[in-house]
Structure 1
């Protein structure tokens, strides 16, 4: 993937890894489309990216609103002659027990993390195929590889992304659609602050593990380097990534640790 002069749409670009990735890519002289719910924050990111020599357009919308997703896709497709890459970073996490969490919260997490992401992908995919292909990246999590306490719906939504986008990749190899699944561990962002509790209220505080996580800007460098190489899975984080390998190769140890370790 040669980023130079490519048109790249990034969701979740107002904060966290999405913002850091947009800022990192802006060094490559690209044409960015920045999306998220916070238009003011997106505008600030756009100004930074423009100062780096890239163009940046702000298209705010809520991933959890199906109509808003469709309208955003229509607007972008009407204004751009093609989309070279679509990078999904938008999402929401959780901090609550299965036994205490309402199904309304479960549904909200899936609407944002899974259905909104899928809807935007489906809206863009035909045009991407018609233009000879493109790159799609979706952000999962290490808990998209295994279940973890206080993350039931979040983990499930990330598992679902793996199934959907691996299927999309297999179906579209001949269409030159390259799919990367980004798998972060502990990254220092506000994901825990904005996570939903059992009643849907914001968690409102930074987790200890998150506070000590890999900085978002360093993570973005890793992600961009591996997106350039079109890696199918991109693990990024610290020592916590070992849990992915433990779950795969030593499941009995994982089953023991998953009920003992402090949640991410």
Structure 2
């Protein structure tokens, strides 16, 4: 697949994986729509891309579900169509379940799961009408295995797998693809912005995150997976990837290992 004739909408595009994706896809001559809550940061990403004149910015907040249909309509109108929606926006967590308020649980679900689902449903009729389209969603290795300090985050990512696996089966006949990308540790600000039990950001980077995959390297691997229209991809270090398979085939061993594993 060439991206030179593709119009791609990326959420969570103001930093981290989203920013790296924007730069990589612009280098491959894609036409881009970039979204997040932060317009100034989006402008910086736009200006860092190869063809800033071929990029539109639409601010949005995934927590404000009632606004997302309007945002989707605006995105479609920007270039007349959308070929690929990359659901990359979201927020993480660093707190034990016993210390996490229900409001924080709810907020993580509202952003990561319901916000992504709402935006997907807003674009879905457009894809069905065209009999073409591709949903790409950034999940997590934690969308396959639950780990300490991530109870609500893991729940939100597990929910995305259930939704998009079901959706993939429903829209196959409409020539619409679904790709779930599962990152391990990536060197971004995700741990700094992660919510603690009372809803405040952690404001520090985890050691594992700091030692994670470089965002530009991750973006190249993710873009390759999108080109190949893969259904589910694990892009991570060996330990995170191994955890997925240990959980699948010898879950009792996994339960012992995860209690001892450092996830910070």
SS state of the match for residue 192, structure 1?
Answer: helix
* Match runs of 1:1-264 below 5 Å: 1-49=1-49, 51-52=50-51, 55-239=54-238, 240-264=240-264
Aligned length: 263
CA offset at residue 72 of structure 1? 1.1
CA offset at residue 246 of structure 1? 1.1
CA offset at residue 57 of structure 1? 0.5
SS state of the match for residue 260, structure 2?
Answer: coil
Contact 1:110 1:153 in 2 (8 A): yes
Contact 2:32 2:56 in 1 (8 A): yes
CA offset at residue 2 of structure 1? 2.7
Contact 1:82 1:131 in 2 (8 A): no
Describe the superposition over 1:83-103 as per-residue Cα deviations: whole angstroms up to 9, x where unpaired: 100001100000011111111
SS state of the match for residue 263, structure 2?
Answer: coil
CA distance in 2, matches of 1:146, 1:37: 29
SS state of the match for residue 149, structure 2?
Answer: coil
TM-score by length of 2: 0.96
CA distance in 1, matches of 2:133, 2:53: 20
Unaligned stretches of 5+ in structure 2? none
SS state of the match for residue 45, structure 1?
Answer: helix
Contact 1:32 1:54 in 2 (8 A): no
RMSD: 1.2
TM-score by length of 1: 0.96
Would the alpha carbon gap of residues 175 and 120 (structure 1) be closer, same or farther in structure 2, given more than 3 Å must change? same
CA offset at residue 74 of structure 1? 2.3
Q: Report which stretch shifted further, 58-67 or 169-178.
A: 58-67
Contact 1:10 1:88 in 2 (8 A): yes
Describe the superposition over 1:162-181 as per-residue Cα deviations: whole angstroms up to 9, x where unpaired: 00001010000000110000
Contact 2:182 2:233 in 1 (8 A): yes
Contact 1:26 1:54 in 2 (8 A): no
Contact 2:56 2:78 in 1 (8 A): no
CA offset at residue 20 of structure 1? 0.5
CA distance in 1, matches of 2:56, 2:136: 19
CA distance in 2, matches of 1:192, 1:135: 29
CA distance in 2, matches of 1:63, 1:111: 8
CA distance in 2, matches of 1:251, 1:106: 26
CA distance in 2, matches of 1:68, 1:43: 21
CA offset at residue 67 of structure 1? 2.6
CA distance in 1, matches of 2:53, 2:106: 37
